[in-house]
Structure 1
Amino acid sequence: MKNRNQQIRNQQARTRRSERRTDALSKERIVEAAIDILDADGENALTFRALAARLSTGSGAIYWHVADKNELLTAATDAIIGRVVTDVAADAGPDQAIRAFALGLFDAIDAHPWVGTHLFREPWQAAMLEIFEAIGGRLQALGVPEEALFNAGSALVNYILGVAGQNAANARLLPQGTDRSAALGAVAASWTELDPARYPFVHHLATKLSDHDDREQFLAGIDLILAGIGTIGRTDRGS
């Protein structure tokens, strides 16, 4: 009987230690460690073994919080998008809030290219709904007509994610340490060698390519879309 009681106490002690480890290893800690791995080495480097090593724990403790790699990628993407949503000033006007939110997404995908990849992989995940809500709510505040809301919101979201994703992909193509201006200058030079009769507009763009600012160009596109959306609103009010 004495041995039996000792076994029970030992089991209870092991259970308490396990619970303390589970509490200490929160899902938030796991997600932050996953983001660090993704940022440093890309999606292929994110394994539960690598994550366990970084967190100094066993894979089983991670599975307690996250079922698989896809769920982990989704949680990491949610965390990044959530930061962008909360960073927009609460007192900003709807058009300025859209610009700030769009630029925040652009910068977030530039810093975390895997976010753009995962958003396109699962287009109706929670992070995408947050993006549509953040854009759509401001469009409603701008007075965009009901019948134009879906198209207006889709145009903005598709532009933001498309340009941000392409910008991140372009950055990954450049070897580390490459001078961006020099690389773009080489591309511009190759464009000028094309037949100007067949590619007149490309020749024109070549003069602007090497020294353009990606963020400024991105925001210029947002302003063009917002200007068009504003025209829809004015047309509706005037009819």
Structure 2
Amino acid sequence: MIKTAHGKQRREDSLSRERIVEAAIAILDSSGEGALTFKALSQRLETGAGAIYWHIDSKDDLLIAACDAIVARTLGGLPENAVPDAAIRALALHMFDAIDAHPWVGATLARAAGQLPTVRILERVGQQVRALGVPDDVQWAAVSALLSYILGVSGQNAANAQLARERNLDRADFLGEMSSVWSKLDPAGYPFTNSMAARLPAHDDRADFLAGIDFILNGIARR
């Protein structure tokens, strides 16, 4: 009995915000946002909910902290000394892959406008846009376009993957179903969508994503 109490005390003494955040990330990755509760965290960390509340105010606070940890880790892995347009492409692709690996991050970023995880990305993109020599009066528009595209497309890609998993479909099956639906649309009313049906199953999400980044960067360069 004494040994058990001592072990529990030691665990609570070593509890930190960082340990709680990492445990939350593990739950979010394995089971999604709905599974993240203070009860689940308490069980995973073998501590009481009160000890967790000492470090974390609420579930929203925890989600933002977990999201920020992923974003900080992702941005920290970017190559150094890259030229601005290459740096933007690398940042965009790293975020795309991070949100694909952690689908809950996309939804959390959408709710975290103005908070630290989004501001980290905003600041990094903004620095590179300035380094491109974009005039002051259009910097915000350029950064907003890039940020909206990066977060929007990455989040939608992750949402599509999550939907496929919920329906027990792999990517090929999911796109095959969508392609079948598009191919049956009236070509007169939906000429473009119908024409894309056959190409849909073979398209590369990452390549398409980077092509969109290049469209924006080319527009910025012309401006």
Same fold (TM over 0.5): yes
2:101 is the alignment partner of 1:99: no
How many residues were matched structurally?
217
2:110 is the alignment partner of 1:120: yes
| Correspondent of 2:201 among 205, 210, 214 | 210
Structure 1: which 4+ aligned runs deviate by more than 4 Å? 16-23
Larger radius of gyration: 1
* Map of 2:3 onto structure 1: none
Q: Spell out, residue by residue over 1:71-114, the C-alpha distance to the aligned partner (whole angstroms, 9 max, x if none).
A: 11111011000011111111111111111111111111111111
Deviation (angstroms), 1:19: 8.1
Residue 122 of structure 1 aligns to a residue whose secondary structure is: coil
2:131 is the alignment partner of 1:147: no
2:213 is the alignment partner of 1:222: yes
- Bigger Cα displacement from structure 2, 169-178 vs 190-199: 169-178
2:121 is the alignment partner of 1:138: no
The amino acid across from 1:30 in the alignment is I
Deviation (angstroms), 1:23: 4.3
* Map of 1:231 onto structure 2: 222
The amino acid across from 1:59 in the alignment is A
Deviation (angstroms), 1:226: 0.5
- Bigger Cα displacement from structure 2, 191-200 vs 78-87: 191-200
2:171 is the alignment partner of 1:180: yes
Fraction of identical pairs, as percent: 55
The amino acid across from 1:187 in the alignment is M
Asked if 1 retains the 8 angstrom alpha-carbon contact of 2:12 and 2:47, the reply is: no
Q: TM-score, normalization: structure 1?
A: 0.86
| Correspondent of 1:35 among 18, 22, 25 | 25
Q: What is the RMSD of the two structures over their aligned residues, measured on CA atoms?
A: 1.8
The amino acid across from 1:76 in the alignment is A
The amino acid across from 2:31 in the alignment is D
**Counterparts of 1:108 and 1:128 in 2: how far apart (Å)?**
14
- Bigger Cα displacement from structure 2, 22-31 vs 86-95: 22-31
* Map of 1:56 onto structure 2: 46
Q: Spell out, residue by residue over 1:160-194, the C-alpha distance to the aligned partner (whole angstroms, 9 max, x if none).
A: 11101111111111136523123212221221211
Unaligned runs of 5+ in 2: 1-5
| Correspondent of 1:192 among 176, 183, 194 | 183
**Counterparts of 2:12 and 2:35 in 1: how far apart (Å)?**
24
| Correspondent of 1:162 among 152, 166, 176 | 152
Deviation (angstroms), 1:31: 0.4
**Counterparts of 2:9 and 2:183 in 1: how far apart (Å)?**
66
**Counterparts of 1:21 and 1:186 in 2: how far apart (Å)?**
49
2:16 is the alignment partner of 1:26: yes
Q: TM-score, normalization: structure 2?
A: 0.92
Q: Spell out, residue by residue over 1:212-236, the C-alpha distance to the aligned partner (whole angstroms, 9 max, x if none).
A: 011111011001100111111xxxx
Deviation (angstroms), 1:18: 9.0
